[in-house]
Structures are given as structure tokens and as C-alpha cells.
Structure 1
């Protein structure tokens, strides 16, 4: 959530940010109109309360003097009734302005490239070389079915479209990837492993910015006000909601392996083939709580941690900086890691690493106590996939495929696969 005082005092800065994001200023203008109405009513309320205080003193004085105070008391009652009505209107306007504020996106950092869409995202780094094949490559969908590891037909029978059943080697490979990622981040990068609930309440989703704007992208449960998490960023960030952290404890870094659930509203027709865009998928999420002055150095660190997974697996990828027209709702700056998928002849996102500054901390009320200062301040929060397990499996399958249709196991994963070096032998369909 944006700082209320910033929006009130410098709306031009917010307008410029919305324009850079290719977003309409309509909600900002509505907020300013509601806020001006609220201010006017607040002034009137303050004036009436002053009149009420003066009238109360006159009533008290009249009673002490033995005078008839009936008329004064009647006027005082009328003033109090007006104040009550205005207080109710103030409450309504405050709630409306807060709700509008929740729908305004974060202001992009000055280092975020200006652009209109993903076509304007600059490539800032490339790691490794594209694998070269002397045979016709397949995509992971065909490989997985031919090797008996991926089953989309039975998944559709059980649940519907955009689900997958993994068998044998594919299940083991997925588990190996998840365990490898968690071990890498905890042992090398210093993250604390945490396993949160995958069902959260609406407050948690408001705290990270998924609600109210993106409810259509969520799976809501019929039982109470519960949702399945779209990412572990939601429960992990909210672990410290309403808390004041000690400065000495910052940064705090958590690695969270969970199942994630997304309705993919509005994306039908996109990536329907295979594992790229599923309703249910595994991910290891990285979340960091940091001091504001450290947050952009911490973003580079977070990005390097996500990249380390790809480098250890020797998967060719590139890094792009999201432009203002493509950056996420809560983010001030984002890097996307895009892994090369030879079966699709394309780079595909496998991780987004974002600094959301104090945008989530304001919504979830997460603060810290700076040393030597009386007042607390909002932390900055960062998040990134380290990595999306299903998409990493896709990249391994496609980059490590062999001419006979089998798949080599990356050296870093072999200890997690019981020493197996190659998985799958073609079985047909």
C-alpha cells in the first residue's frame, strides 16, 4: 500500500507512476475526490465539536447560576446529533478511501526501465550457452508421455484441465529438485526453512497485495473466508504481520517449499500444453525482510541465490529487468530469470525476484525498531522463486534430452536421485 501522506501531498508523483505502468489514473482521482470530501466533513465536524464544547460550558454556567438551561440543552443535543451523523459519514469515507488505496499499485523504483509491455524488457545478463543437439528435439510434454512419466489424461479425469500426474522417475525428479533447492538455499545461502499453511485468510492476501485486486486469480474455499495460496510469499510474509522486529535480527531470510494453486483467470488458451501453466505446482519461495537502506543490495543477493540453482544445474538462462509497463502490482523493481526451453525454441520465466519496498509492510503492518530511534519504521520485503519446481523440471527434461529419448540427470541432482545418471527409456504411448 502506498503511503497515505504521499498520495495526499504529491499526487503528481503517483499520476506519473501510473502513467509509466500504463495504468489508468481513474482510481487515484476518485481517491483524491473522496479524500477532499472527507477533509471538508472533518473540518465541519471539528467546528461543531468546538461549538459543542462552548455550549457545554454555557449549560454548566447556567446551571450554576440557577438559570433555565433548557434551550441551551436542546441546542446542544441538536449539535451532538449532527456530529454523530458526520462521524458516521467520516467513517464511511475513510473506509472507502482505504479501499481505493489498497487498489493503487506500487511506485516503480527509478532504476526500473520505462516501457509499455514485456516487449520493452531489456536483457541484462545471459548465462551459459544454448545446448546443441544433433537430433530433432522434443518438448517436455512429448518426452514425458513417451517415457511414461507425465500423465495428463488421468489428471483430467481426476481434476480437469491444467493438472498433471507424475509417475516413477518424473515424481522422483520433481522431489529431487525440490530437496536440492531447499538444501542449497539453507546450507549455502543462510535461509531458514519454513513450511507454512497453504490455506490462508483474506487478511493475509490483502497484506501481500493479492486482494482485493486479484481475487479472480485465486482459488477460494467455500468453507469460511479461506483461500489456497498462489505462492508461499503470502503466508511467509504474513508470519510477521503486526510485529515489530529487532534491527539486529535483520535481514531475515526464509525458504519455503510448498504446493501453490492458481486459477489462471484470463489465461485460457495460453501454455495449455504440458507443465508450464498448471493450477497446482510446487515452488520453493524465498522471502527476505530487510532494512530499507539495504533493500536494493538485498535484491541483487536474492537474484544471485535464485540464479545459483540454474547454474548448479547447468541450465542456460537469461535475466531480464521488467519495465514499468510489465512490472507486478506490488513490485518496485523486478528481475525475471528466463530459462531456455529448446523444445519450444523460447525462453520462459522460471523465477521473478522483486523488491516491493514497504508496500507490503504497510498493508501487513510489519515494522522494525532502528537502533537509537524512538519510533519504529516499516521494513522492506523481497520475494522470489528459488525456483518453480515444475518449470525447472521442464528445463531439465528439454535441455538434457538425448537422441534415444532418455534424459540425463544433472550432476548436482544425482545424489538426490540415488546416483541415477539417466532416467527413462522410450515406452511409446
Structure 2
């Protein structure tokens, strides 16, 4: 949600920021500030009319008693009619105000967040800027296979392959997978390892949040109304979460957090559900882009002056997981044309995948400023101050579990088709050091 006062005072700056994101102009022509301020003028005019009518009602009501006491029944009748007329105006203008405010706020809800000045200009992922690299890509004495080829070749005995796409497709359709045996245990091990790292080492509080949320929660974090086609909706009107960011960030919805409680840092491991409506034809094979996947999410709630540093910290927490796993990666700062709807600045972490001979996204860490907080009415009160302020919110993957499994399978594969378990995961695998076909 955008600050209407900022738009009133800085219409050109608002339009320029949207232009930097390559956001299209309104179909009606002109600029977005023109459209918004036109509806805003209707709101303010209605408010002024209502206030005038309320003044008339209140003043007339006070004078009715005096007129009756003095025996001036004609004046009393006139005043009572003035009160009745004012009440009708208040009711009518109240509807006008509500309608104009809805038109204005619907537009404000549909527009993306404004990028920070340091975000590089660009149209697509080709214009993202590399910040740093870590680790070296593994060297193989054989041609490395894709994760799905490795997983499907590993047997779970009579139960079929350990990475079973065929069975999943037969029950659920495309973009699903069923993991079995040690492959399923590897996914569980990664989830537990990530949660332990974020809670025991990085100070995040573990949360087990709802997987079903109402539309207001998705509106609060920015998935609605813009991206409804990407969501799965139930017959009860609930939505399956596309990321734990939704339910975890909404923990501070409609709250005033104490100054000393900030920053709040949460982490959650949940399934995530996405229709992938905009990805037709992309990553149709394997586990890179599924309708259902697991992710360990990080969410931070901070004071405005702390959010920039918190983004660097959060990105480092995600990087630390990959470093412990010994997986080569790079960090890129997303350009204005590639950032998510609610972000003001985003770092993507991309892990090396040998089968594709390139880096692929495994985490995205973003600061949203007060964009989500305004939509959720999430605030804090500084010590000694009466007026509350909006918090800043941040979110990031720490990490996407399925894509991390993909990276481990591909980077730790052996020529005989087995997978070496990274050292940090061995305790979570019950001492298993290599994933092989079941006898």
C-alpha cells in the first residue's frame, strides 16, 4: 500500500519510481498520480461535505432546545428540519466517500512497491547485477546428470524410483513429485538442518503457521489482488499459502509492537502451493518449478532505520546454509524490472547446477519498507512517543528445500549413480553417508 500523503506531496517522484520499474501507464492516459489524486480529490470533497453537514447538525441540535424554551416553535421546526436534512446529507455523502475511497485504494493496492534509488535499472533478469560469488563448481570425471535422471535411476526397492514423477503425475498431474526412501529422508534432513541453523545460530524464532489463510492476509503481503491466478483457492474461500511469508508476516497484523521488541525474527518450514500460472513451458521437467514444494522462510519486522542492515544480515543467513553444504553460489542484486511486486530491494542467491552449467535461484531476500505494514496496519511505538509508526518488513528463503535437494543431488552425484551426503547432513540422515539404490 502506498502512502497517499507522499503521492499528494510528491506526485512526480511517485510516477518516476513506477517508471523505473517499467510499470505501464494507466489505460485512461496520463499518469498514475493523476488517476489516484483525482479519486483522492473526490474523497476529500466528500469528507468536507460531511463535515459541513455534521457541523450544521450539531449546531442546530443545540439551538432546538433554546427555541422551544423561548416559545419560538417556528424556529424549532426550522432547526429540526435542518438537522434532518443534515443527517440525510451525512448518509448520502458517507456513501460517496466510501465509494471514492474504494476506487482510490483499489488502485493503490494494485500498484507495485517503489524501488530504492540504488536498485539497478533494467527490464529482465539479464540486467541483474552480480554482487559476489562463493565456492567453486565441482569438477567431474564423467558427464553429470540432471537431478531427475539421478533420482529416477535410484531404486527404492519394490516401491519404484526414489524420485517418482510418474506416480505423482498419475494422481495429481504435472509439476508434482513423490520422494521415497533415502531421497525423502534427504528432504527431511535438509529441512531440519535449515531450521536448526536459522534458530540455533541466527536467532530466528521458529513458527508453525497456518497453511490456509483468508484473502485479507494475502492482501496484506501483496499477493492479492494482483496475483490471484497464481494461488490455489478452496471452496471455503481460504487460500493455500504460496509461501510462509504470508502467514508469518501477518503475525503482526493490526498490532502496535513495543519499541524494545524489535527486531522480530521468525522462521518457518512449510509446504508452499503455487499454480505457476505465468511459467508455462518453463522448467517442466524435474523439481525446479513445482505446484507444491517445501521451503524454510525467514521474516523480519524492524524499525525503518534498521531494515537496510537487516536485509544484509538476512541474505548472509541464507548464504550460510549453502556454505555449510559446500554448494557454490552467487548473489545478484535484482534490477527494477525483475523485482517482486512488494519489494524495494532484492538479493537473489543462485546455486550452481552442473547439469545446466549455470546458476539457478535458490533464495530471494527482500526488504519491503512499510509497503506491507500499511496494508496490514502493522505499527510500533517508540519509547516516549505517542504516535505509532509503520514497521518495515523483510522476507527471504533460508532456503527453498526442494531446490536445495536438487543442488545436493547434482553437485554430490557419483559416477555409479549414488549421491554422497554432505557432512553437515550426515547426523540428520542417521549416519548415512551415501544414498544408493535399495537392495
Report TM bin, short chain.
Answer: over 0.9
Segment of structure 1 superposing worse, 381-390 or 72-81: 72-81
Structure 2 counterpart SS, 1:257: strand
Match of residue 206, structure 1, among 219, 229, 233: 219
State the 1:29 CA deviation.
Answer: 3.5
Is the CA contact 1:122–1:320 (under 8 Å) kept in the aligned structure 2?
A: yes
State the 1:66 CA deviation.
Answer: 2.4
Equivalent-residue separation in structure 2 for 1:279 and 1:305 (angstroms):
26
Is the CA contact 1:404–1:426 (under 8 Å) kept in the aligned structure 2?
A: no
Equivalent-residue separation in structure 2 for 1:244 and 1:50 (angstroms):
33
Once the two structures are superposed, residues 260-304 of structure 1 have per-residue CA deviations (whole angstroms, 9 ceiling, x without a partner) of 111111212111110001010010001111121111111111000
The alpha-carbon distance between structure 1 residues 373 and 55, as it changes in their structure 2 partners (threshold 3 A), is: closer
State the 1:425 CA deviation.
Answer: 4.0
Structure 2 counterpart SS, 1:372: coil
State the 1:61 CA deviation.
Answer: 4.9
Provide the residue aligned with 2:282 in structure 1. 270
Provide the residue aligned with 1:258 in structure 2. 270
Match of residue 108, structure 1, among 99, 104, 115: 115
Match of residue 38, structure 1, among 38, 43, 50: 43
Once the two structures are superposed, residues 370-419 of structure 1 have per-residue CA deviations (whole angstroms, 9 ceiling, x without a partner) of 12222222221111000000000000111111112221111111111122
Structure 2 counterpart SS, 1:17: helix
Provide the residue aligned with 2:246 in structure 1. 234
Equivalent-residue separation in structure 2 for 1:255 and 1:74 (angstroms):
61
Provide the residue aligned with 1:137 in structure 2. 144
Residue 124 of structure 1 pairs with residue 124 of structure 2: no
Specify every segment of 5 or more residues in structure 1 that has no aligned partner in the other structure, as ranges: none
Segment of structure 1 superposing worse, 250-259 or 21-30: 21-30
Is the CA contact 1:28–1:104 (under 8 Å) kept in the aligned structure 2?
A: no
Any residues of structure 2 matched to 1:252-401 within 5 Å, and which? 252-401=264-413
Match of residue 234, structure 2, among 194, 206, 221: 221
Is the CA contact 1:289–1:381 (under 8 Å) kept in the aligned structure 2?
A: yes
> How many residues align structurally?
426
Is the CA contact 2:314–2:365 (under 8 Å) kept in the aligned structure 1?
A: yes
What TM-score do you get using the length of structure 1 for normalisation?
0.94
Equivalent-residue separation in structure 2 for 1:140 and 1:394 (angstroms):
6
Provide the residue aligned with 1:14 in structure 2. 14
Equivalent-residue separation in structure 1 for 2:146 and 2:55 (angstroms):
75
Structure 1 counterpart SS, 2:271: strand
Match of residue 185, structure 1, among 184, 193, 198: 198
Equivalent-residue separation in structure 2 for 1:78 and 1:162 (angstroms):
63
Structure 2 counterpart SS, 1:81: helix
Equivalent-residue separation in structure 2 for 1:11 and 1:96 (angstroms):
18
Structure 1 counterpart SS, 2:426: helix
Q: CA RMSD in A?
A: 1.8
Equivalent-residue separation in structure 1 for 2:205 and 2:326 (angstroms):
25
Equivalent-residue separation in structure 2 for 1:184 and 1:357 (angstroms):
26
Structure 2 counterpart SS, 1:111: coil
Residue 86 of structure 1 pairs with residue 93 of structure 2: yes
Structure 1 counterpart SS, 2:431: coil
Structure 1 counterpart SS, 2:121: coil
Structure 2 counterpart SS, 1:315: coil
State the 1:50 CA deviation.
Answer: 4.0
Segment of structure 1 superposing worse, 304-313 or 27-36: 27-36
Provide the residue aligned with 1:170 in structure 2. 183
Provide the residue aligned with 2:3 in structure 1. 3
Once the two structures are superposed, residues 222-280 of structure 1 have per-residue CA deviations (whole angstroms, 9 ceiling, x without a partner) of 02x21111111111111121222222222111110111111111212111110001010
Specify every segment of 5 or more residues in structure 2 that has no aligned partner in the other structure, as ranges: 27-31, 155-160
Is the CA contact 1:140–1:274 (under 8 Å) kept in the aligned structure 2?
A: yes
What TM-score do you get using the length of structure 2 for normalisation?
0.92
Segment of structure 1 superposing worse, 261-270 or 76-85: 76-85
Is the CA contact 2:350–2:360 (under 8 Å) kept in the aligned structure 1?
A: yes
Is the CA contact 1:180–1:413 (under 8 Å) kept in the aligned structure 2?
A: yes
